[in-house]
Structure 1
Amino acid sequence: MADNFLANGPLVTVYIPCRNYGRFLRQAIESVQRQLYANWEIILFDEASKDDTHEIADDFQRADPARIQVVHNATPRGLQWIANRAIETAKGKYLVRLDADDWLDESALLAMVAKLESDPALGLVYGNYYYTDAEGNILGVERGYDIDAEETSGHLPPHGACTMVRTRALKAVGGYSEDINAQDGWELWFKLRGRVKAANLDTPIFYYRQHTTSLSRDSQRLLMARTKILARLCNTLEGSYKPTCLAVIGVRESYPDFPGVPYHQVDGQSLLERAVRSASEATRVTDVVVTSESEAVLAFSEQLERDGRVPPHRRQLRQVAAAESAVPLREILSEASAGYRAVHACDPDSLAFLSIHAFNRRAEHVDKALSVLRLTECDSVVSVHQEREPVFSHGQQGLRLLNPGRLEELSYVRERLYRFNGAILALWNEVIEMGSLLGESVAYIEMSAKDSVQLKADTVSAFSL
């Protein structure tokens, strides 16, 4: 029975992009050749490599021309272009991307094909993996979330590489966007989510090499690509009805150690001006209000508008018992929502609270948060910065390390810790109406260390700089 399955099972296309990874390429290809599941083909993409990638790829093709083909690109075309060419030329029912610096466990294709064939509704399957160093020594094991049982928000995609996908499903959603140069796993996940079922294998199926030239280490590029993907996917949801969003900029004029907060300038712009512009320039924000207990702050807001330094926006005087009292955020949002209702005779669909202290927040961050709010249908979205340093909690025997992988410079999915950076809180209005602030399901957008900087008490408060 097993032999018959191996011989006659559906064809699997494994495509391998390679740019100057000739030193790793042989191991990647040979890991496919050693698969227990034998019905496969390989498409090698040489991304204008300057090393020996060209020669290694051609040697393997000459040795097995029926199952290995090579595409030499004169200039680098990027992962999305490669993925679309793989979809176009693949003979396989299923498609897998194997990065040239990684390699498969011998049971990988067998396990993934068996899982997909067990349920016609499944469209993609992924497994756990080993972290290794540049020399291939195992550093640890990544155990991902079970999409069905543990990660139901829909926000966390499976690992992009070594995910097996039904080729027809990729064709049905139009493949990949070639103007986005990273994060193809995110685009794949949000395009297919809701169309096909996904499953994970609770066993390591490949080896994920960590080295200084790894593309996945370019965090700023990845965050920018993720922003573009989320915006584009959210645009596909647009219909005749456009959801409304009220951006709320809560401003306190002074703190004991930070007087004149909204007037403080950064690069020639006051904090209030920067906050209003980041809200007004966001395409998914339909109304902006500055709310404060200080009439002087509202007068300053009005002056900025008259001088043409910020677009038109509303102002709302907060009702508080005393200027020194701390106003709960939920109360600020609830009052702002009521003010919107008084003007528009209806409630806003969503709210976005924007801290005046997060002076590097931009309109694209606000739009990203609102895109995630719609794509995931979570109750709320918070802006966060990933904690890159070891973090402890107190246990019975003193401090307990919450993310021990950081000591090995590894970022295990289950150990990742995120700190609210204070920049954005987006939520559906009905969450506030139910007396909550975050609701039950909370999604997030990740911002870089630079963009997470806050200005407080005449000093810069930064996150993991």
Structure 2
Amino acid sequence: MADSFVGSGPLVTVYVPCRNYGRFLCQAVESVQRQLYANWEMIIFDEASDDDTLEIAESLRRADPRRIRLVHNVQPRGLQWIANRALETANGKYLVRLDADDWLDESALLVMVAKLESDDKLGLVYGNYYYTDADGQILGVERGYDINAEEQSGQLPPHGACTMVRARALKAVGGYSEDINAQDGWELWFKLRRRVKAANLDTPVFYYRQHSTSLSRNSQRLLAARSKILSRLCDTLEGSYKPSCLAVIGARESYPDFPGVPYHEVDGQSLLERAILSATGATRVTDTVVTSDSERVLTFAEQLERDGRVPPHRRQLRQTVAVESAVPLREILSEAAAGHRGVYDSAPDCLAFLSIHAFNRRAEHVDKALSVLRLTECDSVVSVHQEREPVFTHGQQGLRLLNPGRLDELSYVRERLYRFNGAILALWHEVIGMGSLLGENIAYIEMSGKDSIQLKADAVSAFSL
């Protein structure tokens, strides 16, 4: 065990959530006990574990009762509940979450405390981390972006674990939302990023274990939690003025290899019906228009409304008739915005273009895109699917691998590649007149592989950016 040579300084509270990770818990706790910075306390939360977690945690507490406390939950309460209880009972000036299956580098507390103490305006600090396999063998190093120089959109929050937070700053924003049981790092980041300064350290501070039961492998759960967090945070921005948003559903009737597109059914609903429902069901959409160069398509949309299959919406015959498969999206949006002005005497504040081919897109995805558009203040938001297979480009000596971490099933931040899935493009109205339809600052929402599926002929590009 390393000798702690810093015995004074502000107290740090390390809290350790644990559910059925008894096999890892000792290593996590011992990594704190080996810290070069000695002024810490620990709270272990046993989340109604079915394994030997409680017995191991109790033995660790008995061995170091002055610094270690144990909370046993008879039923799982969730990560955010634990975070709030830790915040409520912590004696420390600073707070750190250490997951029971991870462990700290021996200098972690020392370097993070030193950084926070160097600037009273800093509210949180975080470092890089090692990826390890289930047995603790190092697989690679995650090196994050410099948030003050390289990444300022706010869409790359620090890892929720092993980020050191000034407890007072976290209390000032009301802690965590306990009805959301994942992605606490996202909530923390968006709550604090405009209130306090943040800093990242270009050194690894913890070991992030990859194994089959890791929460990080449940991507659907993480994306759902992220949507809820973003929507709630956007609600806090609401004032007397509510930005208007026009949902634009572009519906061409046929393509050379795909006739009758809007009428094609999936699970008893036509593609056009599903698109209209995803727009009209979004709480941040204030107006929906189906635009097409086919009167038959618009008649079909009108019939869907008459039959009560979709809510009321507007329909607009597009003046620009495409002679090829690609339709200029800028013209579609411009005509739709002009139609909105004709009805409401004003242009919409923002627009969301929804392709009818993305049949698994839902209203929550549309709301998420519009929330991100407001929270990040970017020019546009695109829906994407993260590429999880190795991707190559041409290099000097043949193909060059763009994301080598994928060979080890790792998703390094700097190697992540995103593919536009065609489901949603949200943008501020003023961006339509810019040189690029996406503007200069592009944000994104990530959708799962299933939700990103599009129904169209492989050779057809439905719309041209």
Letter matched to residue 339 of structure 2: G
Aligned partner of 2:53 in structure 1 is 53
Question: 2-side partners of 1:361 and 1:275: how far apart?
Answer: 8
Letter matched to residue 56 of structure 1: I
Gaps of 5+ in 2: none
Kept in 2: contact 1:130–1:206 (CA 8 A):
yes
Change (3 A) 1:178 1:325: closer
SS at match of 2:13: strand
Change (3 A) 1:267 1:369: same
SS at match of 1:111: helix
Q: Deviations over 1:275-325 (max 9, x none)?
A: 111100100000001111111111111111122111111111111255446
Kept in 2: contact 1:350–1:429 (CA 8 A):
yes
Greater mean alpha carbon deviation, residues 40-49 or residues 311-320 = 311-320
Report the alpha carbon displacement of residue 91 of structure 1 after superposing the two structures with TM. 0.3
Question: 2-side partners of 1:459 and 1:365: how far apart?
Answer: 26
Identity %: 85
Residue 122 in structure 1 maps to residue 88 in structure 2: no
Gaps of 5+ in 1: none
Q: Deviations over 1:220-244 (max 9, x none)?
A: 1111111111111111111110110
Question: 1-side partners of 2:83 and 2:236: how far apart?
Answer: 21
Question: 1-side partners of 2:431 and 2:364: how far apart?
Answer: 24
Aligned partner of 1:195 in structure 2 is 195
Report the alpha carbon displacement of residue 36 of structure 1 after superposing the two structures with TM. 0.6
Aligned partner of 1:442 in structure 2 is 442
Greater mean alpha carbon deviation, residues 441-450 or residues 3-12 = 3-12
Change (3 A) 1:182 1:152: same
Provide the aligned length of Structure 1 versus Structure 2.
459
SS at match of 2:327: coil
Q: How does 1:130-169 map to 2 (within 5 A)?
A: 130-169=130-169
Question: 2-side partners of 1:128 and 1:458: how far apart?
Answer: 41
Change (3 A) 1:105 1:360: same
Aligned partner of 1:379 in structure 2 is 379
Question: 2-side partners of 1:148 and 1:27: how far apart?
Answer: 34
TM-score, normalised on structure 1?
0.96
SS at match of 1:456: coil
Aligned partner of 1:342 in structure 2 is 342
Kept in 2: contact 1:79–1:184 (CA 8 A):
yes
Report the alpha carbon displacement of residue 51 of structure 1 after superposing the two structures with TM. 1.7
Residue 360 in structure 1 maps to residue 360 in structure 2: yes
Report the alpha carbon displacement of residue 334 of structure 1 after superposing the two structures with TM. 1.2
Question: 2-side partners of 1:322 and 1:382: how far apart?
Answer: 24
Question: 2-side partners of 1:140 and 1:391: how far apart?
Answer: 19
Q: How does 1:30-49 map to 2 (within 5 A)?
A: 30-49=30-49
Letter matched to residue 297 of structure 1: V
The CA RMSD over aligned residues, in Å, is 1.7
Letter matched to residue 256 of structure 1: P
Kept in 2: contact 1:453–1:460 (CA 8 A):
no
Letter matched to residue 53 of structure 2: T
Question: 2-side partners of 1:322 and 1:387: how far apart?
Answer: 32
Report the alpha carbon displacement of residue 58 of structure 1 after superposing the two structures with TM. 1.3
Q: How does 1:155-304 map to 2 (within 5 A)?
A: 155-304=155-304
Report the alpha carbon displacement of residue 88 of structure 1 after superposing the two structures with TM. 0.3
Question: 1-side partners of 2:270 and 2:53: how far apart?
Answer: 53
Question: 2-side partners of 1:160 and 1:86: how far apart?
Answer: 14
Question: 1-side partners of 2:310 and 2:52: how far apart?
Answer: 56
SS at match of 2:112: helix
Kept in 1: contact 2:390–2:403 (CA 8 A):
yes
Residue 105 in structure 1 maps to residue 102 in structure 2: no
Letter matched to residue 180 of structure 2: I
Q: Deviations over 1:33-85 (max 9, x none)?
A: 11011100000011111222112211121122111100011111111110000
SS at match of 1:7: coil
Runs of 4+ in 1 over 6 A off after TM superposition: 458-461
TM-score, normalised on structure 2?
0.96
Letter matched to residue 247 of structure 2: A
Letter matched to residue 78 of structure 1: G
SS at match of 1:296: helix
Change (3 A) 1:228 1:460: farther
Question: 1-side partners of 2:199 and 2:141: how far apart?
Answer: 19
Kept in 2: contact 1:102–1:206 (CA 8 A):
yes
Report the alpha carbon displacement of residue 4 of structure 1 after superposing the two structures with TM. 12
Kept in 1: contact 2:4–2:34 (CA 8 A):
no
Greater mean alpha carbon deviation, residues 363-372 or residues 300-309 = 300-309
